[in-house]
């Protein structure tokens, strides 16, 4: 595929940086926090970051489609789609925990071609272009070489919707915890994927995410040599409904756990 992505990559990284500045401007100083549900929050920072990103994309690429967390856009039928989480990790952000990010992915047809995840609190910029590797602040990154689940350090998350799957995910958490070296819950899925990409963790799993949580991070992780899939081992669902992302080596060991009869609720889809 020859799509001349360098201009688009520079544009995306500057945009993530500018959106990050907006987030840092409001950080620790929020005046307006709305509860989409008791646990699902949105602040003026999410909205201001999204407004900036959307306006700049619309002015630079007026024919492109846009998918964001906080607004619905009508499809223009473009081959290009921007998939945006203007603030991933809102709950952390609201509580002044510096684990949050701006996540921007660009798809050409169904393929993600650019992924940018930026955490302004520690000035960490992750980026990837299809077939060109993955980077953190310009340095190439790679997944870990950990060979077995028993030696693995993992990260996960829990969705806002406290449904039956949510209940069961705590059983799964215990099962996998027991078989690994430990699991963390950091609260920003886009960063979780980047941390697997750079080898801090060996794997990440979560259910009921959304496209904006995973589009950019999925490309960054795969370009760093990792592997992503659904929970039956199929191609990663673009919806984010089921996400397993690892260094590739421990993927099958975790998939085997999901196949256990007591977890059919997770694999009946
Ligand atoms: C959330 C974070 C969190 C994950 C939730 C997401 P938000 O995104 O990525 O880690 O567990 O499922 O919804 O709401 O902070 O953008
Ligand atoms: Ca998110
Ligand atoms: Ca968000």
In tens, the pLDDT along 15-72 reads 999 999 999 999 998 788 788 777 777 788 999 999 999 999 999 999 999 999 989 9
Measure the CA–CA gap between 159 and 54, rounded to whole angstroms. Answer: 25
The alpha carbon of 42 and the centre of ligand 3 are apart by a number of angstroms equal to 8
Q: Is the CB of 188 under 6 A from ligand 1?
A: yes
Output the CA–CA distances (angstroms, integers) from residue 256 to 157, 166, 168, in the order listed. Answer: 20, 20, 17
pLDDT category at 2 given cuts 50, 70, 90 is: low
The alpha carbon of 228 and the centre of ligand 3 are apart by a number of angstroms equal to 21
Res 154: pLDDT? 98
Residues 191-222 have pLDDT tens digits of: 999 999 999 999 999 999 999 999 999 999 99
Q: Of 11 and 30, which is predicted with more confidence? A: 11
Mutate to test the pocket of ligand 1, among 34, 119, 209, 242 (most ligand atoms within 8 A of CB): 209
Neighbouring residues of the ion ligand 3, judged by CB less than 5 Å: 69, 85, 87
Mutate to test the pocket of ligand 1, among 38, 39, 88 (most ligand atoms within 8 A of CB): 88
Which residue ranges form the domains of the chain, and what is each CATH number?
6-140 (3.30.540.10), 149-267 (3.40.190.80)
pLDDT category at 4 given cuts 50, 70, 90 is: confident
Q: Against a cut of 0.95, is the pTM above it?
A: yes
85, 49 Cβ separation under 8 angstroms? no
Return phi, psi of residue 74, to 5°: -75, 140
Measure the CA–CA gap between 158 and 259, rounded to whole angstroms. Answer: 20
Residue 189 corresponds to which tokens in the numbers above? 């899925």
Residues 141-197 have pLDDT tens digits of: 999 999 999 999 999 999 888 999 999 999 999 999 999 999 999 999 999 999 999
- Ligand 1 closest atom vs CA 186: 10
Output the CA–CA distances (angstroms, integers) from residue 207 to 13, 153, 240, 246, in the order listed. Answer: 28, 19, 7, 15
């Amino acid at each position: 595929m020859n799509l001349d992505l360098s201009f688009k990559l520079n544009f995306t990284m500057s945009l993530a940086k500018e959106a990050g500045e907006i987030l840092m401007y409001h950080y620790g100083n929020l005046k307006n926090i709305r509860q989409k549900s008791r646990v699902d929050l949105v602040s003026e920072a999410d909205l201001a970051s999204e407004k900036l990103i959307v306006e700049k994309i619309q002015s630079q690429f007026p024919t492109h489609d846009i998918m964001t967390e906080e607004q619905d856009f009508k499809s223009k039928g473009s081959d290009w789609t921007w998939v945006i989480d203007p603030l991933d990790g809102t709950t952390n952000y609201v509580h002044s925990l510096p684990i949050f990010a701006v996540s921007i992915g660009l798809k050409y047809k169904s393929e993600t071609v650019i992924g940018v995840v930026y955490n302004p609190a520690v000035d960490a910029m992750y980026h990837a272009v299809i077939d060109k590797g993955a980077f953190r602040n310009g340095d190439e990154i790679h997944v870990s070489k950990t060979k077995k689940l028993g030696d693995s350090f993992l990260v996960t998350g829990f969705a806002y919707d406290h449904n039956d799957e949510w209940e069961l995910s705590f059983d799964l958490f215990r099962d996998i915890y027991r078989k690994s070296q430990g699991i963390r819950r950091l609260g920003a899925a886009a960063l979780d994927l980047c941390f697997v990409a750079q080898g801090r963790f060996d794997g990440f799993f979560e259910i009921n995410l959304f496209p904006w949580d995973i589009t950019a991070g999925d490309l960054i992780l795969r370009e760093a040599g990792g592997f992503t899939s659904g929970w039956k081992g199929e191609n990663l669902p673009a919806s984010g409904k089921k996400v397993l992302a690892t260094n590739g080596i421990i993927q099958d060991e975790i998939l085997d756990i999901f196949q256990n009869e007591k977890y059919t609720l997770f694999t009946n889809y």
